[in-house]
Structure 1
Amino acid sequence: MDVPWVRRPGRREFLALLAAAAVAGTAAPPAAGRPRAVKRQMRGLWIACLNHTDWPARRRLGTEQIRADFVSMLDAAVATGFNAVFVQVRPTADALWPSPYEPWSQWLTGTQGQDPGWDPLAFMIEASHLRGLTFHAWFNPFRIAIHTDPGRLVADHPARRNPDWTVAFDGELYYNPGIPAVREFVLDAVMDAVTRYEVDGVHIDDYFYPYPAPDGRGFPDDAAFAAHGRGFTDRAAWRRDNIDLTVRQLRDRVRAARPDAAYGIAPFGVWRNRSTDPAGSATTALQSYDAQFCDSRGWVRKGWVDYIAPQLYWHIGFAIADYAVLARWWAAQTDGTDTQLWIGQSASRPGAPGRPAPWQDPAELSRHLALNATLPQIGGDVFFSARSARTDRIGAIRQLAADHWSRPALVPLLPRLARTAPPAAPELRPSPDGQGLQVAPWPRPGRPHPFQYAVYAYDADPGPHPPADPDRLAALLPALSVDRYRPPGTSSASWYAATAVDRAGRESATGRVLRFPPGPTGPLVEGE
Structure 2
Amino acid sequence: MKVKQLMLLTVLFALMASCGGRIEAPVKEARAVWYSRFEYCNSTKTHDQDSIKLHISSVIDKAADANFNIILFQVRGNGDAYYTSDIEPWGEHLTGEFGKDPGWDPLEYAVKKAHSRGLELHAWINTFPVWRGTEPPKETNPLSPYLAHPEWLVCDTSGTPQPLTNHYVSFSPGIPQVHDYLITLAKDIVSRYDIDGIHFDYIRYPEGSIDNGYSHDSISVSLFQDSEKGNPYNLEWEDWQREQLNQFVYKMYNAIHEMDPAIKMSAATIGSYDVGGWNGYHAVFQDGRRWAEMGKVDFLAPMIYWERTHPIQPFMKRSEEWRKNTFERYCFPGMGSYRYNTDEKPHTWDETLGQIRDMRAKEFPGFVFFDAGSIEGHWSDLGFKEFATPANIPPMPWLNVQEPVLPENITVDMPDHNKIRIQWENTTDQWQRYNIFVAEGPEIDSLSSHHLRMVTLPGANTAELKVRNQDTHIALSALNKAWVESPLSRIISFRE
Tell me the TM-score range normalised by the shorter chain. 0.7 to 0.9
The one-letter amino acid of 2:398's match is R
CA 1:254 to 1:301, structure 2 compared with 1: closer, same or farther past 3 Å? same
Q: Percent identity among equivalent residues?
A: 24
How far is 1:85 from its partner? 0.5
Q: Which whole-Å deviations, capped at 9, do the CAs of 1:484-518 have from their partners, x for residues lacking one?
A: 32315x553122223333443133444454445x5
Q: Which whole-Å deviations, capped at 9, do the CAs of 1:246-295 have from their partners, x for residues lacking one?
A: 1110011111111112111110011112xxxxxxxxxx341211111101
Q: Do the aligned residues in 2 keep the contact of 1:497 with 1:512 (CA within 8 Å)?
A: yes
How far is 1:418 from its partner? 8.9
CA 1:125 to 1:150, structure 2 compared with 1: closer, same or farther past 3 Å? same
1:162 is matched with: 149
Q: Which whole-Å deviations, capped at 9, do the CAs of 1:393-435 have from their partners, x for residues lacking one?
A: xxxx666655532221111111314995114326243266886
Which of 405, 411, 418 aligns to 2:393? It is 411
1:20 is matched with: none
1:97 is matched with: 83
Q: Which whole-Å deviations, capped at 9, do the CAs of 1:29-48 have from their partners, x for residues lacking one?
A: 95487534422100001110
Give the paired residue count.
Answer: 463
Q: Is residue 463 of structure 2 the alignment partner of residue 484 of structure 1?
A: yes
2:107 is matched with: 121
The one-letter amino acid of 1:109's match is T
> What is the rounded CA distance, in whole Å, between the counterparts of 1:253 and 1:204 in structure 2?
14
Which of 298, 307, 312 aligns to 1:320? It is 312
> What is the rounded CA distance, in whole Å, between the counterparts of 1:177 and 1:314 in structure 2?
28
CA 1:253 to 1:28, structure 2 compared with 1: closer, same or farther past 3 Å? closer
> What is the rounded CA distance, in whole Å, between the counterparts of 1:198 and 1:450 in structure 2?
11
> What is the rounded CA distance, in whole Å, between the counterparts of 2:131 and 2:401 in structure 1?
43
Q: Is residue 176 of structure 2 the alignment partner of residue 197 of structure 1?
A: no
> What is the rounded CA distance, in whole Å, between the counterparts of 2:461 and 2:73 in structure 1?
24
How far is 1:184 from its partner? 0.9
1:461 is matched with: 442
CA 1:428 to 1:73, structure 2 compared with 1: closer, same or farther past 3 Å? farther
CA 1:365 to 1:398, structure 2 compared with 1: closer, same or farther past 3 Å? farther
> What is the rounded CA distance, in whole Å, between the counterparts of 1:241 and 1:140 in structure 2?
19
Which of 77, 82, 89 aligns to 2:63? It is 77
> What is the rounded CA distance, in whole Å, between the counterparts of 1:381 and 1:57 in structure 2?
25
> What is the rounded CA distance, in whole Å, between the counterparts of 2:119 and 2:371 in structure 1?
16
TM-score by length of 1: 0.80
> What is the rounded CA distance, in whole Å, between the counterparts of 2:399 and 2:244 in structure 1?
29
1:349 is matched with: 339
The one-letter amino acid of 2:456's match is L
Unmatched tracts of structure 1, length 5 or more: 1-26, 274-283, 520-528
Q: Which whole-Å deviations, capped at 9, do the CAs of 1:342-371 have from their partners, x for residues lacking one?
A: 111122011247xx62123x3212221222
The RMSD of aligned alpha carbons is: 2.9
Q: Is residue 136 of structure 2 the alignment partner of residue 150 of structure 1?
A: yes
2:301 is matched with: 309
Moved more, 403-412 or 132-141: 403-412
Partner SS, residue 374 of structure 2? helix
Which of 218, 233, 236 aligns to 1:223? It is 218
The one-letter amino acid of 2:97's match is T
> What is the rounded CA distance, in whole Å, between the counterparts of 1:244 and 1:165 in structure 2?
18
CA 1:41 to 1:173, structure 2 compared with 1: closer, same or farther past 3 Å? same
1:45 is matched with: 33
The one-letter amino acid of 2:29's match is Q
> What is the rounded CA distance, in whole Å, between the counterparts of 2:478 and 2:397 in structure 1?
19
The one-letter amino acid of 2:290's match is G
> What is the rounded CA distance, in whole Å, between the counterparts of 1:415 and 1:486 in structure 2?
30
Deviating 4+ runs (over 6 angstroms): 431-435
Which of 263, 266, 280 aligns to 2:265? It is 263
How far is 1:123 from its partner? 1.8
Q: Which whole-Å deviations, capped at 9, do the CAs of 1:214-246 have from their partners, x for residues lacking one?
A: x94343534233333224563322221221111
Q: Which whole-Å deviations, capped at 9, do the CAs of 1:184-210 have from their partners, x for residues lacking one?
A: 101111111012222211111135211
How far is 1:461 from its partner? 3.4
How far is 1:315 from its partner? 0.7
CA 1:419 to 1:66, structure 2 compared with 1: closer, same or farther past 3 Å? closer
Unmatched tracts of structure 2, length 5 or more: 1-13, 154-160, 225-229
